[in-house]
Chains A and B, each alone.
Chain A
Amino acid sequence: MTMPFYVPPEQLTKDRAEFARKGIARGRPIIVIEYDDGVLLIGENPSGSLHKTSEIYDKVAFAGVGRFNEFEMLRVAGIRYADLKGYSYEREDVTAKGLANAYAQTLGQIFTHEMKPYEIEVMIAEVGNAPEDTKLYRIQFDGTLRDMKRFGAMGGMEEELTERLVEALADRPDLATAVRLATDTIEEVLETTVGDDDWEAAALDRNLGRRKFRRLTPSEIGAARA
């Protein structure tokens, strides 16, 4: 009979967290910023079809970094959760908070129970009718749920990105300024240059109709950065 080696829980958790953090730090970052009319989700993504940002429901959007297949699973599960809830009750009953909690539970379970934790982080944004009703939640690989104020950065070099954004963000900028700020910050911190086609940007715009999510076109991004 073989005896399993005893591993103290502190060690186990630390190892798993380190593994997940390494995986996430390898990926390209995403920045989520509140602007005057809503929320901007932006990051570098050369693929035009494998998206890192997505519509979840009328006023709720998703952004993920890390392993694509892992956050894609959460994205799809989130759409199913939201559509089911909205269909059973009423559209306005679907909120970012409920979804963020479900994600936190899921990621927490996976972190402790699965062979390997998910190497991802996700952010959920909900645009409110007024700027102060807008909500940003960030869920980490271990299920830690945090309420972000005005902006958030996740993925590789996130500390540096956050530091720069804190300095640069005074008030809620307009959309073009937010795009310029986010793209410049990412380019400076990652020391690269990114073409207009290689950004993935989406916005939750409170001035749109029922569905407030829209993707920004490369020409829009180019115009904002010019």
Chain B
Amino acid sequence: MPAPHGLPGDSVVPSSSFLSLLESHQMAPSWAAGTGRGPLDIPEATTVLAVRYSDGVIMAGDRRATAGNVIAHRRVKKVYPADEFSAVAISGTAGMAIELIKLFQTELEHYEKIEGTRLSLEGKANYLARMVRGNLALAFQGLIVVPLFCGYDEADDVGRLYTFDVVGGRYEEQDYAATGSGGSEAKAFLKGVYTEQMDEDGAMAIAVEALVAAAEEDAATGGPDLRRGIFPNVVVVDDEGITEVSDERVAEIAETVLGGRP
């Protein structure tokens, strides 16, 4: 009998990987690398960062996507909940990165439902690294996707954050991390103001301020836009799980930060 959506024959020995299920149906997302022609102007997303504080991790990202020297989108979301206890942010080719995140979210939930337990935080980071590695051939074509991952380690009761490189390298960072074209600017700012054991408000303030600093130096990063009401995406991950911070609260911080700047 035909097996619509994996029912029933091929699931006699169930695999808990959603990606392998997609591959078995020839549905895994893939982009064939183009040949010839000049570089395409594809929207790219930039500057996302994560900061560790006393109870967990804060992750923030600007909202701008650029295609060449054009602002392609002003309200792109770059910071996403990965599951109840982790968040993922993207930099690089926006379209591919957003698909990667959707796949990653589905994969984590799929595993959780089938196995009845969540993957360990390390396990999630390793899986994300594998997904980035699968993209290596396209990275050589200039279609780069580099995520940033953070979460609350339920086993060790501590927040952790991870950075990646295009070959799928996965590195756990201690205090803070940033990636994207404004990433080095943001890191330079954080280096000056970061202290250990900051509280949630303090960490959130420096996270937003680091984005402002990055936006001042990097044309591809958008700062808080008070006129249009566009504010960075901020999430908090602690032992209670993940919370997306409301625009009102971010707006308040952004106004303080912008008002205090020379």
**CB distance A80 to B116 under 8 Å?**
no
Partner of B113, one of A49, A55, A103, A106: A55
Q: Are A106 and B106 in contact (CB under 8 A)?
A: no
Q: State the CA gap A80–B111 with chains docked (Å).
A: 10
The distance from the CB of A177 to the nearest CB of chain B, in whole angstroms, is: 28
Q: B5 to A106, Cβ gap below 8 A?
A: no
B114 lies within 8 A of A76 (CB): yes
**Would you list which residues of chain A between 42 and 58 have a CB under 8 Å from chain B?**
49, 51, 54-56
Give chain A nearest CB distance to B112 CB in angstroms. 9
**Residues in chain A near residue B113, CB distance under 8 A:** 54-56, 79, 83
A110 contacts across to B, CB distance below 8 A: 8
* B4 interface hit (Cβ, 8 Å): yes
Is the C-beta of A86 less than 8 angstroms from some C-beta in chain B?
Answer: yes
Nearest CB in chain B to that of A108: its residue: B1
Residues of A within 8 A of B11 (CB): 73, 76-77, 80
Which of B1, B5, B103 is close to A80, meaning CB atoms less than 8 Å apart?
Answer: B5
Inter-chain contact A102/B14, CB cutoff 8 Å: no
Tell me if A79 and B102 are in contact (CB < 8 A): no
On chain B, the residues within 8 Å of A102 by CB distance are: 4-5, 7
**Does A88 contact B27, Cβ atoms closer than 8 Å?**
yes
Whether a CB of chain A sits under 8 angstroms from the CB of B133 is no
B110 touches A83 (CB 8 A): yes
Q: Is the CB of B5 within 8 A of A87?
A: no
Q: Which one of B17-25, B220-228, B250-258 is at the interface? A: B17-25
Chain B residues contacting A103 (CB-CB under 8 Å) are 7
Is A216 positioned at the interface, with any CB of B under 8 Å from its CB?
A: no
**Bound Cα distance from A51 to B116, whole angstroms:** 9
A54-B113, A77-B6 known; A84+B14 contact, CB < 8 A: no
In angstroms, how far is the closest chain B Cβ from the Cβ of A60? 11
B40 contacts the other chain (CB 8 A): no
* Interface contact A106-B102, CB-CB below 8 Å: no
Complex: how many Å from CA A76 to CA B21? 12
Task: State the CA gap A87–B107 with chains docked (Å).
Answer: 10
The B contact surface, by secondary structure, is helix
Contact, CB under 8 Å: B5 / A49: no
Judge if B175 is at the interface, Cβ distance under 8 Å.
Answer: no
> Interface size bucket, B side?
20 to 34
Distance in angstroms from A115 CB to nearest chain B CB is 14
A106 and B27 within 8 A (CB): no
The total of interchain contacts (Cβ-Cβ below 8 angstroms) comes to 67
Q: Is A176 an interface residue when CB atoms closer than 8 A count as contact?
A: no
Chain A residues whose CB sits within 8 angstroms of the CB of B165 once the complex forms:
none
Instruction: Give the complex CA separation of A103 and B113 in angstroms.
Output: 18
Residue on A nearest B18 in the bound complex, by CB = A83
Instruction: Report the separation of the CA atoms of residues A2 and B37 in the bound assembly, to the nearest whole angstrom.
Output: 71
Q: In whole angstroms, what is the CA distance A52 to B16 when docked? A: 18
Provide the A78-99 mask, 1 if CB < 8 A to any CB of B, else 0.
1111011111100000000000
Cβ contact of B22, chosen from A49, A87, A106, A211, cutoff 8 A = A87
Contact partners of A105 in chain B: CB under 8 A:
1, 7
Knowing A76-B114, A79-B110, A79-B114 are in contact, say whether A84-B8 is a contact too (CB < 8 A).
no
In the complex with contacts A51-B116, A56-B113, A79-B113, A106-B8 CB distance below 8 A = yes
Closest CB of chain A to B237's CB: distance in Å? 16
Is A84 touching B1 in the complex (CB atoms < 8 A)?
no
Complex alpha-carbon distance, A86 and B113, angstroms: 14
Smallest CB–CB gap between B8 and chain A, Å?
5
Instruction: Give every chain A residue within 8 A of B106 (Cβ-Cβ).
Output: 83, 86-87
- Is A193 in the interface zone, CB < 8 Å from B? no
Q: Which residues of B contact A109 (CB under 8 A)?
A: 1, 8
- Who on chain B is nearest to A55 by CB? B113
The answer to whether A81 and B6 touch across the interface, beta carbons within 8 angstroms, is yes
- B109 is an interface residue with CB less than 8 A from chain A: yes
What residues on B are CB-neighbors of A81 within 8 Å? 4-7
Assess whether B193 is interfacial by the CB under 8 Å rule.
Answer: no
The answer to the question of B12 belonging to the interface, with a C-beta cut-off of 8 Å to chain A, is yes
Provide the residues of chain A in CB contact with B5, threshold 8 Å. 80-81, 84-85, 102
Whether B27 and A84, one on each chain, are in contact in the complex, defined by CB atoms closer than 8 angstroms, is yes
A74 at the binding interface (Cβ < 8 Å): yes
Residues of B at under 8 Å CB distance from A?
1, 4-8, 11-12, 14, 18, 21-22, 25, 27, 102-103, 106, 109-110, 113-114, 116
User: What residues of chain A have their CB less than 8 Å away from a CB belonging to chain B?
Assistant: 49, 51, 54-56, 73-74, 76-81, 83-88, 102-103, 105-106, 109-110, 211
